Amino acid sequence: MDQFTINLLFVGGSFALYIGIAIWARAGSTSEFYAAGRGVHPVTNGMATAADWMSAASFISMAGLIAFTGYDNSSFLMGWTGGYVLLALLLAPYLRKFGKFTVSEFIGDRFYSQTARIVAVVCLIVASTTYVIGQMTGVGVAFGRFLEVDNTTGLLIGACVVFAYAVFGGMKGVTYTQVAQYVVLITAYTIPAVFISLQLTGNPIPGLGLFGDDVASGMPLLTKLDQVVTELGFSSYTAHHADTLNMVLFTLSLMIGTAGLPHVIMRFFTVPKVSDARWSAGWALVFIALLYITAPAVGAMARLNITDMMWPNGGIEGGAVTVEQIADDPRYDWMDTWQKTGLLGWEDKNGDGKIQYYNDKNANMQAVAEEKGWKGNELTNFNRDILVLANPEIANLPSWVIGLVAAGGLAAALSTAAGLLLAISSAVSHDLIKGAINPQISERAELLSARIAMAVAIAIATYLGLNPPGFAAQTVALAFGLAAASIFPALMMGIFSTRINNTGAVAGMLAGLIVTLVYIFLHKGWFFIPGTNSFTDADPLLGPIKSTSFGAIGAAVNFAVAYVVAGMTKETPQAIKDLVESVRIPRGAGAAQDH
Amino acid sequence: MSENSSNNAYWSANMRIIVVSLIIWALVSFGFGILLRPLLSGISVGGTDLGFWFAQQGSILVFLAIIFFYAWRMNRLDREHGVDEE
């Protein structure tokens, strides 16, 4: 059986499973549509949250970004897990006690203001839509390779599948579908990593293999890696090169953003009790950590394998891989297949029949190149987003592993897209239409408008996904910055300070959202349209602070503006202070109420 | 009134636990993982130093410990102050 058929079987089989579960669990009432009747166990909920959370950014993109940068991209690992501490300690139990369906309902009630609710809905839609664009980038890369279709076709197929189960399943369908997706994605991520770790270090646990010894050289794996990459003029893998301030702000933005993203917070409305909300966050992080402990090993080992493939005879002195070898040797088949997607490229610039891969920006290497007659780096293009998907092919693993990784990558991208679309659709139908425009709307009409909102959101995200502002994980990092600057501070102040009133909260959210959005648009183009940017992340407007790191500053602006404005305007009424008091204690938490 | 003062004691106990937990949270990630990494460079772990391990794996394990500790501690605190869910 050829690789294409195997991929098709794995991807098709896993889709059939998800859609089957969605149909089996079709939602009936509105309460079931949003929050699955609150009958979800913390462990199940944790697993579904993990699937919801780990998207194309975590699965497809992150290890590639770590592989080519090393230590400096540790921010992704710390940021996307550290946010769960904030979520568990500062938000989850209180929002569950509050007992409503959506994040914006909490903000609307706590800040006793229809305006606050609508501003929260807008913040939520902006952050979620940016996030879905990142997912669509991942979907395009995965389909492009595995179904051997172009990026556009891949995106359209993916959009149809997400639409099918998110629209017809609702939250309950999504919860159980996502448990299935978690199992598929964690298996798909772990199996190739175990194979590769065994090949390189003899240790079956990749997270331990990363700090183990390289079997071939007897040296510690990371020492060996530092040695081979510096020999080619790249900066060492384990050392700290990036600007420290930017790294701290970037990590912080990802953490705060994690705790401000509505589709993750919504998960904590679906557990039966306040105490379960606390455990749920822990379980979610357990299932997330299984991937995140493996990811740095995947990155480091892939970097070592790739370098070894390009210099198969023992480093620079042994000579580079030849053009014939790439064309004829089956170990190099992955290069030919990925070249067709346009995401991998090489060119024999000096015509010596070999492909020299090195850092041509490095002065020492330029001297070496001069001496040896090289005309620049000949591995001209290596898209970071292909690394995880190409990894089993690079390590020469069996065909079924490659098919499994395809299914896992798509599970990651599609499950998160579905969760986000649900958050967007409930924001529009429940908060905007029922909450603000037409409170008398029937349950049936509300459900219909939720589904229409979902379809519109998919269409927009697919359209913007064709021209993404960066690699999947970078686009997603922008979404986190927006959530960090707008939603998280409002929620936190709503619980921990009775001083913040309606005007303060609205001013804070607007200030945080606008300042962050403008900073991002200045660097990434207005509305992400390429070429309309005035600055680049290589040379940002404010010192070393890149657009992906600005969320932490936006959050600080939000807090500061809210405190100043609240100090100048009318005090929070007593009834609201009582509401805050009651949210702080678990006793009396009932089922969610609809209004 | 008495219920109110009990709630205040409960809330300030909660705040103390949160503050201590967040100090540890920041110490392992921003501290050991980034800013204090040079101080830990003497301690080697599998071909690199302790700071690298904290940045790529250690902080995640500590985050897990913090969340489970908080859930366990708070569920006990709820009962001590009689504010748990019946």
Same domain, A104 and A208: yes
Query: If we measure between CA atoms, which residue out of A555, A550, A551 comes closest to residue A537?
Result: A550
Cα distances from A257 to residues A249, A426, A489, A492, in angstroms, run 12, 20, 10, 12
What does the alpha-carbon distance between residue A472 and residue A60 come to, in Å, rounded to a whole number? 8
In this complex, do B78 and A581 lie within 8 Å of one another by their Cβ atoms?
no
Q: Which residues sit opposite B49 in a β-bridge?
A: B44
In a domain, A19, yes or no: yes
In a domain, A342, yes or no: yes
Q: Which of B18, B35, B78 sits opposite A244 (nearest CB)?
A: B35
Nearest CA in chain A to B8: A581
d(CA A552, nearest CA chain B) in Å: 14
In a domain, A275, yes or no: yes
In a domain, B57, yes or no: yes
Same domain, A158 and A222: yes
What does the alpha-carbon distance between residue A114 and residue A116 come to, in Å, rounded to a whole number? 5
Residues of chain A with pLDDT under 50: 29, 33, 36-37, 171-172, 594-595
In which residue are the tokens 């379980």 written? A283
In a domain, B85, yes or no: no
What does the alpha-carbon distance between residue A523 and residue A515 come to, in Å, rounded to a whole number? 13
Q: Does A577 touch chain B (CB under 8 A)?
A: no
Cα distances from A593 to residues A34, A105, A490, in angstroms, run 12, 11, 22
Give Cβ neighbours of residue A441 (< 8 Å, ≥ 6 apart).
Answer: A433, A434, A449
d(CA B39, nearest CA chain A) in Å: 13
Of A360, A387, A414, which marks where a domain is finished?
A387
Same domain, A116 and A90: yes
Of A387, A418, A438, which marks where a domain is finished?
A387
- Name the residue range of residue A328's domain: 314-387
In a domain, A595, yes or no: no
In which residue are the tokens 């946010």 written? A83
Phi, psi of A533 (to 5 degrees): -85, 150
In a domain, B40, yes or no: yes
What does the alpha-carbon distance between residue A128 and residue A480 come to, in Å, rounded to a whole number? 9
What does the alpha-carbon distance between residue A140 and residue A151 come to, in Å, rounded to a whole number? 5
In a domain, B33, yes or no: yes
Q: Tokens at residue A194, please? A: 């175990």
Number of domains comprising chain A: 2
Q: Does B21 touch chain A (CB under 8 A)?
A: yes
Q: Does A588 touch chain B (CB under 8 A)?
A: yes
What does the alpha-carbon distance between residue A72 and residue A241 come to, in Å, rounded to a whole number? 7
Phi, psi of A335 (to 5 degrees): -65, -40
* A477-529: pLDDT as tens digits: 899 999 999 999 999 999 999 999 999 999 999 999 999 999 999 998 888 87
- Name the residue range of residue B27's domain: 2-80
In this complex, do B30 and A221 lie within 8 Å of one another by their Cβ atoms?
no
Residue B2 pLDDT exceeds 50: no
Same domain, A322 and A299: no
Residue A79, Cβ neighbours under 10 Å: how many? 21
Same domain, A85 and A219: yes
d(CA B30, nearest CA chain A) in Å: 7
Q: Residue A405 in contact with residue A392, Cβ under 8 Å?
A: yes
Same domain, A106 and A201: yes
In a domain, A590, yes or no: no
The single-letter code of the amino acid at A91 is L
What does the alpha-carbon distance between residue A481 and residue A490 come to, in Å, rounded to a whole number? 14
Query: Directed axis angle between helix B2-26 and helix A574-584, to 10°?
Result: 60
Contacts of A240 in chain B (CB under 8 A): 34, 37
Same domain, A372 and A420: no
Contacts of A96 in chain B (CB under 8 A): none
Query: If we measure between CA atoms, which residue out of A189, A190, A173 comes closest to residue A17?
Result: A173
Same domain, A29 and A121: yes
Q: Tokens at residue A481, please? A: 């910055």
What does the alpha-carbon distance between residue A316 and residue A335 come to, in Å, rounded to a whole number? 21
Query: If we measure between CA atoms, which residue out of A95, A38, A83 comes closest to residue A584?
Result: A95
| A to B CB pairs, distance under 8 Å | 139
Residue A355, Cβ neighbours under 10 Å: how many? 22
Contacts of A93 in chain B (CB under 8 A): 74
Residues in chain A: 595
Q: Tokens at residue A530, please? A: 């390429």
* B15-68: pLDDT as tens digits: 999 999 999 999 999 999 999 999 988 888 888 999 999 999 999 999 999 999
Same domain, A296 and A334: no
| Three-class secondary structure of residue A223 per DSSP | helix
Nearest CA in chain A to B41: A239
Query: If we measure between CA atoms, which residue out of A92, A120, A88 comes closest to residue A105?
Result: A120
Of A344, A369, A387, which marks where a domain is finished?
A387
Please name the residues between 85 and 124 in chain A that touch chain B, using a CB distance below 8 Å.
85, 88-90, 93
* CATH assignment at residue A245: 1.20.1730.10
Cα distances from A195 to residues A25, A397, A411, B19, in angstroms, run 36, 8, 21, 42
Q: What's the sign of the alpha-carbon dihedral A167, A172, A175, A181?
A: negative
Query: If we measure between CA atoms, which residue out of A222, A207, A237 comes closest to residue A69?
Result: A237
In this complex, do A211 and B53 lie within 8 Å of one another by their Cβ atoms?
yes
Nearest CA in chain A to B49: A238
Same domain, A467 and A529: yes
In a domain, B55, yes or no: yes
Q: Tokens at residue A117, please? A: 């609710």
Same domain, A397 and A378: no
In this complex, do A581 and B52 lie within 8 Å of one another by their Cβ atoms?
no
In this complex, do B56 and A74 lie within 8 Å of one another by their Cβ atoms?
yes
In a domain, B71, yes or no: yes
In a domain, B86, yes or no: no
Q: What is the DSSP letter of A571?
A: P
| Three-class secondary structure of residue A433 per DSSP | helix
Residues in chain B: 86
Q: Please tell me the number of Cα atoms within 13 Å of A472 on its side-chain side.
A: 31
Nearest CA in chain A to B65: A282
Q: What is the ipTM of this complex?
A: 0.94
Q: Which residues sit opposite A220 in a β-bridge?
A: A213
In a domain, B31, yes or no: yes
In which residue are the tokens 């009747």 written? A37
In which residue are the tokens 């995106």 written? A155
Q: Which of A89, A252, A587 sits opposite B85 (nearest CB)?
A: A587
| Three-class secondary structure of residue A539 per DSSP | strand
Same domain, A464 and A519: yes
In a domain, A29, yes or no: yes
Number of domains comprising chain B: 1
